[in-house]
Structure 1
Amino acid sequence: MSRLRALWQASVNATKRAVVWNSEDLFPPSERYIFNFNSKDEVKKWHLYSDSEYGGLSSASLEITDGVSGGDTSTTGVFSGNLSLDMSEGSPWRIRRSGFCGMRSKKFDGFIDLDSYDTIAMKLRGDGRCYISTIYTENWVNSPGQEEDNSWQAFVYAPQDNWRILKVFFF
């Protein structure tokens, strides 16, 4: 019954989008910002996590910084982490070592309709290592008892000291 209800709701949502016509539906903009680190409030949209939730000693932080060069008024989101393979003594988890940290956007009301797009671009500057980018999409055809979203993953190389626009294609 839950699957039928989800299918019905997806149909109703598609009909609402068709009835409420928007010129962007026919001619979407060539670019659309999903997240833009242009204010200190942007930090509230993100959830930071690390192995500290399981007794590990890693940590993560996200800060919004002002432009660094003369006359630059832009802001930047700076994610940083401290990785540790060690575990805290007396941890209830039966893990010998760990070492991860990351960030993900918090869930928000509604959805972002990206049907007209086939690429997500990220402007990154990093430490020269590879990371995993995960994009979740609503799974409107669930099995009974399964309420998980679909996840799509890509390896993302964060070039050291140079800004690059990296693109993740999806079909």
Structure 2
Amino acid sequence: MADQAATAETGQHVFVALHDHEVEWKEGDDANELLTLPPGVKVKILNYDPVMKRVDMKVKFPPGYVEPEHSHKSWHSICVLDGRMCVAGKDLRAGDYVFGGDISHGPYEYPDGCEVFCVFMGEGTEHIWDESQHLAHENTWDAETDAGKEGVEAQKAARASGKVSAG
């Protein structure tokens, strides 16, 4: 975004207003480079402020996805926009909130898929996690949709075959 370049050059904050459709989803290697999570997530960067070390983004998790227990060199807050996020014994839906500080948190399960708005502040958006611990994860939440049930089984099979990588 041109406004983000202006922020980096001048050290001044800028006003940003945009339509969701104006920003493309990043997926595959582009999304993995940003978040360093197992494959499958999509990311939309809405704003980046290098002065504040802040990144505002939307993240889309497919049905059945499991985000490993992890930590960051930053903190983040999350608001669920659509779908389900299951973490810390709570089944979170649209409007619900999570704060993940710089301590270990998760795993997060997305049995029916989920889209969230996330704000990172600090030294990056990377997730630090243990692949062997993730491969051994056993789902605790049931999917409510057919797509979710298929997604959960596909994710379990991927973990069982060791097809998950730490980016």
Q: Same fold (TM over 0.5)?
A: no
- Which bracket does the TM-score occupy, shorter chain normalised? under 0.3
TM-score by length of 2: 0.27
Query: Looking at both structures, which has the greater relative contact order when contacts are Cα pairs under 8 Å and sequence separation is at least 6?
Result: 2
Which structure has the larger Rg? Answer: 1
